[in-house]
Amino acid sequence: MFKKVFTLVLMTPLLIGSYGTLQAQEEAPEPMWESFYITPDNTKLKALGEAMSKHNKKYHKEGVHRAVVYNVVSGPNMGKMVWQMGPLGFSDLDTRPSEGGHDEDWRDNVMPNVKKMQSGEYWRQNNKVSNTEMLQGDDMTYKILHVRFFEVENGNGYQIDHLMDQIGKAVKDMEGENPWGMYDNMFRQGNLGRHLATVMFHKNWASYDKERKFKDSFLKVNGKDSWDAFNKGMTSAFSNSWDEIWEYNDALSGN
């Protein structure tokens, strides 16, 4: 689940260069993750777990190439795993582990226990609308990810920035800690439907019993007459959406 926002300021030619340098220094790069689904061979789950755990803890333990594994427990991909690496930038892919036995280990020990890999994707976070500051350095405290995928209606993508900005403002206004992120799929998806995604991070399942007054916050920050227009905009901007719940698998992850 990704786009860059640039601020253009009209200044004299003498000041434009220095201002651009200052902006580049102050703006944090938007993080990106590589991910793909793994369909395990259910007759080889123990072997897969052992092989993937050893692989990730040896080659993907820390830094930009750190790997995290999630079990998909709800939604159309239930029963699969998600392998995710990052946060990183595209340049980090040039230095990803490949030598020292990495590729051979994945080929000879992990892949024989896998039926299929699919949806290899790169998801970039939209920092402007996301509310993920509390995750920094402690993201595994939130072990359950509520991922909502969206398929953009052809010709209506122009509405997305405004709609996601409205959601982001509302989430940031809600009481308590409500980490939420919006992510762009970096490469064209056609009719596959996985154009963008939002993620609500949960510490546990019990948090679903907590009442979150999203609509109240939405009306407060976007205006008392904004709700109907927002829902109409979501209906026209997206042709489809669906949820998946991912649970963090500590045993198989690199950390």
Which tens digits make up the pLDDT trace of 93-135?
Answer: 999 998 889 999 999 999 999 999 999 999 999 999 999 998 8
Task: Write the pLDDT tens digit of every residue in 173-211.
Answer: 999 999 999 999 999 988 888 999 999 999 999 999 998
- Residue 240 pairs in a beta bridge with 151
At residue 93, the pLDDT reads 95
Domains and CATH numbers, the chain: 33-248 (3.30.70.100)
Which amino acid is residue 241, in one-letter code? S
DSSP states of 42-108 as a string?
A: TTSHHHHHHHHHHHHHHHSSSGGG-EEEEEEEESTTTT-EEEEEEEE-GGGGGGSS-TTTHHHHIII
- Is 26 in a helix, a strand, or coil? helix
Is it the case that residue 21 has pLDDT exceeding 50?
no
Category of 235 on φ-ψ map: left (φ > 0), alpha (ψ -120 to 50) or beta: alpha
What is the reported pLDDT for 54?
97
pLDDT of residue 82: 98
Q: Is 120 within 8 Å of 200 (Cβ atoms)?
A: no
The whole-angstrom separation of Cα 174 and Cα 207 is 14
How far is Cα 47 from Cα 52, in angstroms, rounded to an integer? 8
pTM of the model: 0.86
b/e per residue, 6-37, with b = 16+ CB within 10 A? Answer: eeeeeeeeeeeeeeeeeeeeeeeebbbbbbeb
pLDDT tens profile 51-68: 999 999 999 999 999 999
